[in-house]
Amino acid sequence: MKLDDLAQKTGEWMRGDGPESDIVMSSRIRLARNLAEFPFVRKCTDKDRIAIAAAVRRAIDALPLSSDTEYVDVAKLGDLDRQFLMERQLISHELSETEGARAVILDPQERFSIMVNEEDHLRLQVMQSGLDLTAAWKRMNELDDLLESKLTYAFTKKLGYLTACPTNVGTGLRVSVMLHLPALVATKQIDKVFRAFNKINVAVRGLFGEGSQFMGDLYQVSNQMTLGKSEETLMQRVSEVIPRLIDYERKAREFLINEKRDDLNDGISRALGILKTAKKISSEETMHYLSKVRMGVNLGLIDNVRIPTVNKLFIHTQPAHLQKLCGQKLSVSARNTERANYLQQHLSDSVDPKAN
């Protein structure tokens, strides 16, 4: 599996066919784990980091995972390839930018990835299309058990799994759901909703995780503290919050259709028109207009555009993806031109929003 080949495909979380997929883009389960015989990554020597990566690679090679699973030495990748993997949601910014031995194990269908020597020795993540935390947890549990059969995790009966960040101690579990919430943004309710959720220890992040901007009306909602909480409790907390968010977004969409239909149609029509005719367009503009188009498709206001296509465009129009697809590095200006061409190729047959 080459990264250039990966650029041509659509990952698991972009399929757009899971439960509640008009609003929920993906469900993700992440586990933080450390090997008992080594210090935490920030206290590791270069020799320690190399030894950790080697131990994980031996464990992976000994497990009955997909024969196509690939071990990628992130330290040997160039800037473009690392950015590509970040855009793909397969590695974090920290893994990309840190120094020393580090790696990622990739599933060819992108159902899971395993980061090595990030903040913790291991960061396991499983991704599932739509709202399907149960399936994501089942796959994660199986993956974690397999690895634990070959590796000795840092664990105590009193505290649970030991992690570099105190907020992850205990289960090491982060339950995360990515949602598309354009109507809550349009009706100016989004800040109020998230302020309420923040009071119950639910975190909100942008598309690319902690510290990233809220682009394309895409939001990652996840638990915060894990110490003293069981996996079941953390799963339940997020599982209870997400249906409320979905309900708020659906009601906001109904309001726009019933009370602001002309403005809604105009905004969606303008967004589609710009994406289909622009000669140059930035990634930020593209995300903004794609958000409106995605809502328009889900509300039945746009014909001949499929949700998986829109989901793919959210990612394939990002800077590194464009350059991988073109097979060359591009200046910002050249990327803006290539992005416009790429959008036109994929949206040329779409029909403008319906007036009724």
CATH label of the domain that carries residue 161: 3.30.590.10
Q: Is residue 10 part of a domain?
A: yes
Task: Supply 127's token pair.
Answer: 């991704």
Task: Supply 22's token pair.
Answer: 């008009």
Query: Which of 45-54, 244-253, 292-301, 343-352 has the least mean pLDDT?
Result: 343-352
Q: Are 118 and 214 found together in one domain?
A: yes
Q: Are 164 and 69 found together in one domain?
A: yes
- Count CB atoms within 10 A of the CB of residue 262: 8
Distance CA 232, CA 212 (A): 28
Residue 66 has a pLDDT of 61
Q: Is residue 18 part of a domain?
A: yes
Given a cut of 90, whether residue 351 has pLDDT beyond it is no
Q: Last residue of some domain: 205, 221, 253?
A: 253
Distance CA 295, CA 230 (A): 36
Compute the average pLDDT of residues 54-71: 86
Q: Last residue of some domain: 253, 278, 304?
A: 253
Q: Are 236 and 286 found together in one domain?
A: no
In tens, the pLDDT along 25-62 reads: 999 999 999 999 999 999 999 999 999 999 999 999 88
Beta strands in 140-234 (DSSP E): 155-156, 160-161, 173-180, 202-205, 218-223
Q: How many helices (H) and strands (E) does the chain have?
A: 13, 10
Q: Last residue of some domain: 253, 279, 309?
A: 253
Given a cut of 90, whether residue 209 has pLDDT beyond it is no
Q: What is the DSSP letter of 328?
A: S
The model's confidence at residue 205, banded by pLDDT at 50, 70 and 90, is confident
Please tell me whether the overall predicted TM-score, pTM, comes out greater than 0.75 for this model.
Answer: yes
The percentage of the chain sitting over the pLDDT mark of 90, rounded to a whole number, equals 67
Q: Are 206 and 271 found together in one domain?
A: no
Q: Are 93 and 180 found together in one domain?
A: yes
Q: Are 134 and 239 found together in one domain?
A: yes
What amino acid is encoded at 246 in this protein?
A: I
Query: Which of 189-198, 302-311, 321-330 has the least mean pLDDT?
Result: 189-198
124 contacts 106 by C-beta, under 8 angstroms: no
Q: Are 81 and 149 found together in one domain?
A: yes
Given a cut of 60, whether residue 211 has pLDDT beyond it is no
Q: Is residue 271 part of a domain?
A: yes
Q: Are 183 and 102 found together in one domain?
A: yes
Treating both helix axes as pointing N-terminal to C-terminal, what angle do 190-198 and 231-259 enclose, rounded to 10 degrees? 160
Given a cut of 90, whether residue 215 has pLDDT beyond it is no
The number of distinct structural domains making up the chain is 2
Query: Which of 3-7, 116-120, 327-331 has the least mean pLDDT?
Result: 3-7
Q: Are 266 and 318 found together in one domain?
A: yes
Residue 212 has a pLDDT of 47
The percentage of the chain sitting over the pLDDT mark of 70, rounded to a whole number, equals 93
- Beta pairing partners, 285: none
Q: Are 68 and 128 found together in one domain?
A: yes
The model's confidence at residue 197, banded by pLDDT at 50, 70 and 90, is confident
Q: Is residue 354 part of a domain?
A: no
Compute the average pLDDT of residues 206-218: 67
Kindly give, in sequence order, each residue whose CB lies less than 8 Å from that of residue 240, ignoring residues fewer than 6 positions away: none
Distance CA 226, CA 163 (A): 11
42 contacts 118 by C-beta, under 8 angstroms: no
Residue 44, sorted as left (phi over 0), alpha (psi -120 to 50) or beta, turns out to be beta
For the chain, state the CA radius of gyration.
21
Q: Are 289 and 249 found together in one domain?
A: no
Burial of 108 (0-12, 13-18, 19+ CB in 10 A): middle
| End-to-end Cα distance, the chain | 47
279 contacts 334 by C-beta, under 8 angstroms: no
Q: What is the mean pLDDT of the chain?
A: 89
Q: Is residue 24 part of a domain?
A: yes
Residue 196 has a pLDDT of 78
Q: Is residue 13 part of a domain?
A: yes
Domain region containing 211 = 3-253
- Count CB atoms within 10 A of the CB of residue 273: 13
Distance CA 207, CA 339 (A): 19
Compute the average pLDDT of residues 154-163: 92
Q: Is residue 181 part of a domain?
A: yes
DSSP helix/strand/coil, 266: helix
Distance CA 265, CA 271 (A): 10
- Count CB atoms within 10 A of the CB of residue 88: 23
Q: Are 183 and 271 found together in one domain?
A: no
More confident call, 26 vs 352: 26
- What is the β-pairing status of strands 103-106 and 70-73? antiparallel
Q: Is residue 129 part of a domain?
A: yes
- Count CB atoms within 10 A of the CB of residue 181: 25
Compute the average pLDDT of residues 181-203: 84
Distance CA 168, CA 174 (A): 8
In tens, the pLDDT along 253-273 reads: 999 999 999 999 999 999 999
Kindly give, in sequence order, each residue whose CB lies less than 8 Å from that of residue 325, ignoring residues fewer than 6 positions away: 7, 8, 316, 342
